[in-house]
Amino acid sequence: MAENTLQTAKTKEPLMPFGKKERKLLTDPLSDNNPITIQVLGICSALAVTSLVYPSVVMSIAVIFVTAFSSLFTSILRNYIPKQVRMIVQLVIIATLVTIVELVLKYFNYPIYKQLSVYIGLIITNCIVMGRLEAFAMANTPWKSFLDGIGNGLGYGVILVAVGVVREVFGKGSLFAGSPIEMKIIGPNSDYFINTMTNEWFSWYANNNLMVLPAAAMFIIGIFIWIQRSINPKLVDIS
Amino acid sequence: MYSTNYVIGFILILTSTVAIALTGLREGTKEQAALNEEIFNKRAILAAVNSHIPGGRSVKDLSDPEVIELFTNNIEQVTLNMQGEPVTTVMADKIDMGKERKKSESERLLPLFIYENEGEKFYILSVRGNGLWDEIWGNIALEGDLNTVTGVSFDHKGETPGLGAEIKDNPAFGKQFEGRKIYENGQYKSIDVVKGGVKNQSHEVDGISGATITGDGVAEMLYRGIKYYEPYLATLGSTN
């Protein structure tokens, strides 16, 4: 009798739980453990791609996909990967996923593929992807690793889009240029929402050409880091 | 430590699986990808005659099948060799300008697209050169007099967004070329990209601030690239 109660008391663990710990995997990288502002990874593509918002969004989606699935597959294989070739195996997984992204882009949206072609390939060298594999996926279960990958990809994406918005609005006066939902905000003719030729409040305004250069992304990310640590002082000595 | 055999076995299985999966995906998407690329290139060629699309529409507004239809119906394709003679070895729209550049100058093939709309003929030339970081290329359409430019379209591999990339992203740059001429009193002048203000309204356009080298690249590409077509254009009996 006692044995039966013991046996029925042992309930089956859900395969893909979504409790507090799992939610933390998704939300931490958005702020307290942001891959760009706290872990300081993946800066290179953040500088190159963010001059416009639309490529930043496509790039973010690509990185979320690659980070999530490479974490998933690495985690599934983690007990079988020989230590001697650990990094090589991780690279193979990452490179395969990036190639899949390229092939899918070529199939569905060729113009954006042409625009982003070099940068998509560079996801392979993005430290965030390899970083998460080493720091998390190699030592955790597949579902958690998948969530961690999505979380870090999202954290990267949030910063990318934020930098992109600043750079595009102040550098070109538009938002989502190059996409079907292009919005012209401030500029020298009637296409724009604020027409600097006719608007007396903004007749002095000209696009800031520094925003167009990668150096601006460096400054903007620096400012984001500063703002984040001012709001949350316990992050100051973290890295 | 895992045994050597295990490591070799693992790597073999991993790479084979990956290779099969990627090859399969590539084969499955190859046809559509090739079609997408063809349409992309055709749009770029038609962009040079953007102001002469039937219905007053812009190339951007055309659907993919419409691009193919317009190209098939309104464009006569001519492939030229560097001596200006038409050849039939390959269709003009299949010529890869990048690959042609790798050949020695005398062996290259040139694509020429003769676009006809409402009785008017336009000659679309393809040119290719070097920008600041990597290659740049473009199409330039001449009116029936083989002298006046009716439109251009440019593209690049890796110019800086907001600077060199403006040759493609900013319609104002390309619009300057409309109405410019490449010959002056029978002498070949092409179109120069200048800094500090245009002085010669027929043969110069304003460069892009901060993109001097790309601008120089465009000028060089046009000068050399259009010259390649001179032998053939001369046979058409132009009125310069």
Residue boundaries of the structural domains of chain B: 35-235
Size of interface A-B (CB pairs under 8 A): 67
User: pLDDT per residue over A131-142, tens digit each?
Assistant: 889 989 999 999
- pLDDT-derived band at A22 (thresholds 50, 70, 90) equals confident
Please tell me the distance in Å from B182's CA to the nearest CA on chain A. Answer: 31
Q: Would you give the distance in Å from CA B2 to the centre of its chain?
A: 54
Q: For chain A, say whether B2 makes contact (Cβ under 8 Å).
A: yes
Q: What is the reported pLDDT for A239?
A: 57
- pLDDT-derived band at A12 (thresholds 50, 70, 90) equals low
* Average pLDDT in chain A: 86
CA-to-CA dists, residue A42 to A38, A39, A125, A146, B113, angstroms: 11, 9, 9, 19, 44
User: pLDDT per residue over B4-46, tens digit each?
Assistant: 899 999 999 999 999 999 999 999 999 999 999 999 999 999 9
Q: Do A84 and B7 touch (CB under 8 A)?
A: yes
A206 φ/ψ sector (left φ>0, alpha ψ -120 to 50, else beta): beta
The answer to whether residue A174 is domain-embedded is no
The answer to whether residue A106 is domain-embedded is yes
Q: Do B25 and A100 touch (CB under 8 A)?
A: yes
Which residues on adjacent β-strands are paired with residue B67?
none
On chain A, the residues whose CB falls within 8 A of the CB of B21 are 96
User: pLDDT per residue over B200-231, tens digit each?
Assistant: 888 999 999 889 999 999 999 999 999 999 99
> Which positions ≥6 away from A182 have C-beta within 8 Å?
A174, A175, A176
Evaluate if residue B234 carries a pLDDT over 80. Answer: yes
Q: Are B204 and B192 within 8 A, CB to CB?
A: yes
Q: For chain A, say whether B188 makes contact (Cβ under 8 Å).
A: no
What is d(CA A177, CA B3) in angstroms, rounded to the nearest whole number?
55
Nearest CA in chain A to B134: A118
- A159-165 average pLDDT score: 94
- pLDDT-derived band at B240 (thresholds 50, 70, 90) equals very low
Residue-number span of the structural domain to which A135 is assigned: 41-161
Which residues on adjacent β-strands are paired with residue B128?
B137
> Which positions ≥6 away from B67 have C-beta within 8 Å?
B39, B42, B43, B46, B59
The answer to whether residue A77 is domain-embedded is yes
What total of structural domains would you count in chain A?
A: 1
Helix-helix angle A53-77:A110-121, to 10 degrees: 60
Token pair 């899949």 in the structure block, residue: A100
The answer to whether residue A238 is domain-embedded is no
CA-to-CA dists, residue A122 to A72, A125, A129, B90, angstroms: 20, 5, 11, 35
Please tell me the distance in Å from A137's CA to the nearest CA on chain B. Answer: 18
On chain A, the residues whose CB falls within 8 A of the CB of B11 are 85, 88-89
- B171-195 average pLDDT score: 90
- ipTM for this prediction: 0.77
On chain A, the residues whose CB falls within 8 A of the CB of B14 are 89, 92
The answer to whether residue A148 is domain-embedded is yes
Nearest CB neighbour to B1, from listed A83, A111, A211: A83
Interface probe with B: pick from A106, A179, A207, most Cβ of B within 10 Å: A106
**Lowest-pLDDT range, A58-62, A143-147, B57-61?**
B57-61
What is d(CA A86, CA A78) in angstroms, rounded to the nearest whole number?
9
> Which positions ≥6 away from B209 have C-beta within 8 Å?
A209
> Which positions ≥6 away from A30 have C-beta within 8 Å?
A151, A154, A155, A158
Token pair 């132009």 in the structure block, residue: B238
